């Protein structure tokens, strides 16, 4: 009897492997700096290239998923991801490495968009909340696993800038093979479309809520801006500034530290899913403000215990701001504008991964990494505190009257 490859499991697996490849390089950045004699701004620029490519993919390639079906786009995305990871392993200078990160960013958007849609369509229970939770946890687990595996391999394996990518390449090969073996149910096969497909269908369309909900939506979106920006600081520059904060160095320390933020972020979202959205957001902003203050203190203290508190507060703030933000989007959205509001929310979050990191990279070249970190943390601590106060002062709309 022929073995039936379960589509739901292999879509989850492919999504996890795909996002693992995107985050794997984070603990390797200091090694690239030493090998190619790079300033901190070069690392932030490469990180921004990846984020810009991922943002472009998320905004422009959604129509392709709708037209050709999630399965073909997911398969193409994993193959493109594998090509980007292989190019990263073979990179001989910064320009080639930057190109590999652009390829990985484009593939990341394809994988997350198509796999999220696929898990919803393959969920036979009809429980969309379960599919959403599976998607969130799979993404968080994959993103967290990437820097952990990459850091541990790079610490002890020979040729770390080559060997660190081998686990991802092997798992990607298994994911690609499985996606060619899986047979989708007949009702999920894409229906051929006779309509033309051009640049107009690829143009991004951002949406904003009605005026009464604009303040709540804006505060929630700024939560994504701060949360994404804070995580990007750890993912792009933590391996560099951790050298002056901790008595232990190397990818085996920085990689698990970055992965721990995402794994704990997922845990905090799961634990807080039943709490009031307003309190979740305020707590999330408070945790991000605390994280920045602790980082400022640790620039002078260089304490492992204080840095651990930084990681824990960053994870809590990242998880709660994302949970609260998505909850607000769901509450202010209607059926006809939900996708547009979510897209706009994600765009604001991704801008938070790009602009602040470019700023700290440029500033670190001018005044040094420690002083640039102090400026970054002071600005983000003030912004997070202001957002917490604004959320606390924003009235909660009364529930609709029942007729």
**Dihedrals φ, ψ of 109, to 5°?**
-60, -40
H or E stretch at 250: none
Distance separating alpha carbons of residues 229 and 227, to the nearest angstrom: 5
The answer on pLDDT for 49 being more than 90 is no
pLDDT higher than threshold 80 for residue 94: yes
Q: How far apart are CA 160 and CA 390, in angstroms?
A: 46
Q: What pLDDT band is residue 3 in, cutting at 50, 70 and 90?
A: very low
Averaged pLDDT for residues 280-306: 89
**DSSP per residue over 307-354, as a string?**
HHHHHHHHHHHHHHHHHHHHHHHHHH--TTTHHHHHHHHHHHHHHHHH
Query: Mean pLDDT over residues 299-324, rounded?
Result: 85
Taking alpha carbons only, the member of 27, 105, 119, 18 closest to residue 65 is 119
How many whole angstroms separate alpha carbon 329 and alpha carbon 342?
7
pLDDT score, position 61? 63
Once rounded to an integer, what is the mean pLDDT over residues 340-345?
72
- pLDDT tens digits along 196-231: 555 555 555 566 777 888 898 999 899 889 988 888
Structure tokens at 171: 């798992």
């Amino acid at each position: 009897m022929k073995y039936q490859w379960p589509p739901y499991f292999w879509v989850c697996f492919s999504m996890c492997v795909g996002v693992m490849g995107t985050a794997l390089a984070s603990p390797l950045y200091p090694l690239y700096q030493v090998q190619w004699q790079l300033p901190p701004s070069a690392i932030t620029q490469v990180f921004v290239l990846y984020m810009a490519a991922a943002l472009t993919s998320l905004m422009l390639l959604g129509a392709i998923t709708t037209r050709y079906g999630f399965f073909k786009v997911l398969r193409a995305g994993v193959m493109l991801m594998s090509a980007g990871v292989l190019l990263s392993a073979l990179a001989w200078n910064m320009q080639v490495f930057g190109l590999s990160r652009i390829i990985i960013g484009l593939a990341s958007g394809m994988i997350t968009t198509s796999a999220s849609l696929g898990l919803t369509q393959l969920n036979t229970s009809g429980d969309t909340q379960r599919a959403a939770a599976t998607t969130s946890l799979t993404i968080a687990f994959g993103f967290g696993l990437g820097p952990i595996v990459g850091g541990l391999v790079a610490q002890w394996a020979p040729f770390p800038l080559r060997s660190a990518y081998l686990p991802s390449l092997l798992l990607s090969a298994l994911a690609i093979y499985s996606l060619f073996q899986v047979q989708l149910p007949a009702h999920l096969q894409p229906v051929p479309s006779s309509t033309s497909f051009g640049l107009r269908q690829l143009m991004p369309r951002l949406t904003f809520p009605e005026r009464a909900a604009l303040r709540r939506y804006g505060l929630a979106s700024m939560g994504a801006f701060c949360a994404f920006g804070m995580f990007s600081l750890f993912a792009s520059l933590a391996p560099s500034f951790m050298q002056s904060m901790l008595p232990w160095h190397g990818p085996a320390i920085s990689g698990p530290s970055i992965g721990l933020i995402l794994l704990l972020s997922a845990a905090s979202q799961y634990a807080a899913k039943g709490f009031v959205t307003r309190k979740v957001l305020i707590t999330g902003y408070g945790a991000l403000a605390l994280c920045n203050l602790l980082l400022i203190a640790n620039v002078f203290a260089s304490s492992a215990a204080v840095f651990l508190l930084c990681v824990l507060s960053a994870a809590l703030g990242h998880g709660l701001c994302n949970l609260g933000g998505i909850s607000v989007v769901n509450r202010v959205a209607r059926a006809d504008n939900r996708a547009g509001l979510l897209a706009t929310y994600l765009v604001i979050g991704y801008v938070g991964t790009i602009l602040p990191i470019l700023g700290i990279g440029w500033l670190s070249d001018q005044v040094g990494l420690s002083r640039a970190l102090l400026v970054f943390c002071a600005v983000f601590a003030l912004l997070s505190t202001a957002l917490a106060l604004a959320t606390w002062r924003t009235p909660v709309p009364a529930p609709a009257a029942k007729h």
